């Protein structure tokens, strides 16, 4: 479809800008030489050693968050659902801060499995709160995730206030960042991202039936409980992996589906692949913007997405209320 071609072209442009722009701008010709092994010097080292891993991590994290948001909204039938509102980000943050406090961790690669475990634990707890008569109530799931998020954020703040060292170590990760992320951080969770993406694409036709309501979906022969469980697991794999790598980046999972729906409609067979493109496009664009607005310093990408996403959330809340 033409829109997918345009989206891929836009994503390629964002990736090229991510390689070229930063504290020191590098000409695109130098970027191309560095990628194909013909470049030498400081600029080439900056491209291949720092910006290329950062861009690859941004592509993977953005894709995971975008698709996780689409699936979360599909299984909950809630337009405001996302990894943030389901408590997944807060669970990962609480686990990482606690691990830093208890085990004296100092490197992002050491946070990975604590973050993933915290995200999974929060998602399972939110689903337990949402169970009613053996089934998961979508409204209770969204409300339970929101309450859990608030509780975990409070506990996280308490732990950080109790230890200045923990505050110093955790604050940049909690802001959500691609800075300093190497492929060594991505490789351990990449298989889980791939599994989550495959699962999300596989259940996308069934998500269309869920949008009609549980009774209608069951009448069409869709195993509602299994699809919702599979969707929940996909969200945990995708969002947990993304948060483990880059920290709790907000609003990408919420914004990507709402950006794609007016263009491709509500068919999840198109929506999920669309978010696979829109998620990394939004994340890389926010990361590049964060490098430019206070150059030669930079804003963490999580701060940029939060700043841009807050008005979006307010508009969406008004739209849903209407």
pLDDT band at 320 (very low <50, low <70, confident <90, very high): low
Q: How many domains does the chain have?
A: 1
- Mean pLDDT of all residues in 250-273: 91
- Mean pLDDT of all residues in 202-226: 88
pLDDT band at 107 (very low <50, low <70, confident <90, very high): confident
Q: At what angle do helices 268-293 and 52-76 cross, to 10 degrees?
A: 140
- Mean pLDDT of all residues in 236-265: 89
pLDDT attached to residue 132: 67
Domain of 199: which CATH number?
A: 1.10.3470.10
Q: Answer for the pair 238, 252: CB distance below 8 angstroms, yes or no.
A: no
pLDDT attached to residue 138: 67
Each residue's pLDDT tens digit, 54-95: 999 999 999 999 999 999 999 888 887 888 878 888 898 899
pLDDT attached to residue 55: 96
Each residue's pLDDT tens digit, 113-135: 898 889 888 888 887 877 765 56
Q: Answer for the pair 178, 116: CB distance below 8 angstroms, yes or no.
A: no
Closest C-alpha among 21, 302, 46 to residue 177: 302
Triad 15, 19, 25: Cα angle to 5°: 135
The 10 Å Cβ neighbour count of residue 29 is: 10
Which residue range(s) make up the domain with 93? 2-321
Lowest mean pLDDT among 79-83, 88-92, 190-194, 269-273: 79-83
Each residue's pLDDT tens digit, 18-41: 999 988 888 888 888 888 877 677
Q: In angstroms, what CA-CA distances link 137 with 69, 82, 110, 228?
A: 18, 16, 36, 10
- Mean pLDDT of all residues in 200-216: 90
Answer yes or no: is pLDDT of 284 > 90: yes
d(CA 236, CA 122): 9
- Mean of pLDDT over the chain: 87
Q: How many Cα atoms sit within 13 Å of 152 on the Cβ side? A: 30
SS in 3 state form for the chain?
CHHHHHHHHHHHHHHHHHHHCCCCCCCHHHHHHHHCCCCCCHHHHHHHHHHHHHHHHHHHHHHHHHHHHHHHHHHHCCCCCCCCCCCHHHHHHHHHHHHHHHHCCCCHHHHHHHHHHHHHHHHHHHHHHHEECCEECHHHHHHHHHHHHHHHHHHHHHHHHHCHHHHHHHHHHHHCCCCCCCHHHHHHHHHHHHHHHHHHHHHHHHHHHHCCCHHHHHHCCCCHHHHHHHHHHHHHHHHHHHHHHHCCCCCHHHHHHHHHHHHHCCCHHHHHHHHHHHHHHHHHHHHHHHHHHCCCCCCCHHHHHHHHHHHHHHHHHHHHHC
- Mean pLDDT of all residues in 207-220: 87
Answer yes or no: is pLDDT of 318 > 80: no
Answer yes or no: is pLDDT of 4 > 80: yes
297 or 127, higher pLDDT = 297
Q: Answer for the pair 105, 169: CB distance below 8 angstroms, yes or no.
A: yes
Quick one: what percent of the chain has pLDDT higher than 90? 36
pLDDT attached to residue 134: 56
- Mean pLDDT of all residues in 284-302: 91
Each residue's pLDDT tens digit, 143-160: 788 888 889 989 898 888
d(CA 204, CA 70): 10
- Mean pLDDT of all residues in 251-273: 91
Closest C-alpha among 97, 76, 115, 93 to residue 254: 76
pLDDT attached to residue 110: 82
Answer yes or no: is pLDDT of 103 > 90: no
pLDDT attached to residue 120: 85
d(CA 257, CA 276): 10
Answer yes or no: is pLDDT of 321 > 60: no
pLDDT attached to residue 112: 83
The 10 Å Cβ neighbour count of residue 144 is: 21
d(CA 11, CA 2): 14
pLDDT band at 213 (very low <50, low <70, confident <90, very high): confident
């Amino acid at each position: 479809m033409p829109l997918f071609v345009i989206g891929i072209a836009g994503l390629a442009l964002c990736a090229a800008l991510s390689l070229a722009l930063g504290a020191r701008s590098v000409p695109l010709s130098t970027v191309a030489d560095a990628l194909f092994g013909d470049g030498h010097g400081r600029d080439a080292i900056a491209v291949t050693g720092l910006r290329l891993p950062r861009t690859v991590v941004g592509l993977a994290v953005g894709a995971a968050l975008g698709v996780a948001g689409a699936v979360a909204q599909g299984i909950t039938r809630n337009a405001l659902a996302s990894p943030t509102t389901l408590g997944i980000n807060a669970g990962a943050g609480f686990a990482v801060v606690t691990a830093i406090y208890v085990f004296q961790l100092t490197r992002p690669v050491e946070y990975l499995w604590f973050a993933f475990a915290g995200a999974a634990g929060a998602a399972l707890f939110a689903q337990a709160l949402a169970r009613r008569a053996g089934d998961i109530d979508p409204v209770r799931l969204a409300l339970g995730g929101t309450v859990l998020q608030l509780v975990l954020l409070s506990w996280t703040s308490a732990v950080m206030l109790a230890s200045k060292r923990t505050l110093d170590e955790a604050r940049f990760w909690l802001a959500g960042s691609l800075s300093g992320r190497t492929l060594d951080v991505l490789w351990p969770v990449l298989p889980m991202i791939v599994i989550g993406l495959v699962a999300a694409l596989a259940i996308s036709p069934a998500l269309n039936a869920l949008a009609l309501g549980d009774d209608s979906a069951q009448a069409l022969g869709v195993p509602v409980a299994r699809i919702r469980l599979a969707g929940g697991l996909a969200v945990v794999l995708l969002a947990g992996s993304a948060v483990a790598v880059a920290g709790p980046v907000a609003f990408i999972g919420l914004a990507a589906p709402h950006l794609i729906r007016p263009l491709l409609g509500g068919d999840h067979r198109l929506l999920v692949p669309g978010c696979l493109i829109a998620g990394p496009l939004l994340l890389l664009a926010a990361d590049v913007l964060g490098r430019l607005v206070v150059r030669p310093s930079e804003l963490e990408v999580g701060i940029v997405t939060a700043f841009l996403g807050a008005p979006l959330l307010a508009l969406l809340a008004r739209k849903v209320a209407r």
